[in-house]
Amino acid sequence: MTESKLHIEPGAVYSRQEAAEALGISLSTLKRLIKKGHLQVSKPAGMRRVFITGESINEMLDSTKVEKGA
């Protein structure tokens, strides 16, 4: 059985878990991308929940250079 990555909708808002699944990466890798500033997130005041827009995910993917053998 093969897993398919979710289609990233530019106007949608994703949780960290949903974004990690859509990108095919672990939650810890996603958190590192956020911490290093590769992904822009929104965090409402007083909440622990983080929101990631589809635009932010697509911008990160567009700016990422794909390397052979990586």
pTM reported for the whole predicted model:
0.75
Domain count along the chain? 1
**Residue 22 counted as domain residue:** yes
**Residue 2 counted as domain residue:** no
User: What counts of helices (H) and strands (E) characterise the chain?
Assistant: 3, 3
**Residue 8 counted as domain residue:** no
Q: Strands of 41-42's sheet, edge to edge? A: 13-14, 51-53, 41-42
Q: What is the pLDDT of residue 1?
A: 42
Q: What is the pLDDT of residue 69?
A: 66
Q: What is the pLDDT of residue 4?
A: 47
Q: Indicate the angle between helix axes 16-23 and 27-35, nearest 10 degrees.
A: 110
**Tens digits of pLDDT across the chain (70 residues):** 444 455 788 889 999 999 999 889 999 999 999 999 999 999 888 988 889 999 999 999 888 777 666 5
Q: What is the pLDDT of residue 5?
A: 53
Owning domain of residue 48: 13-63
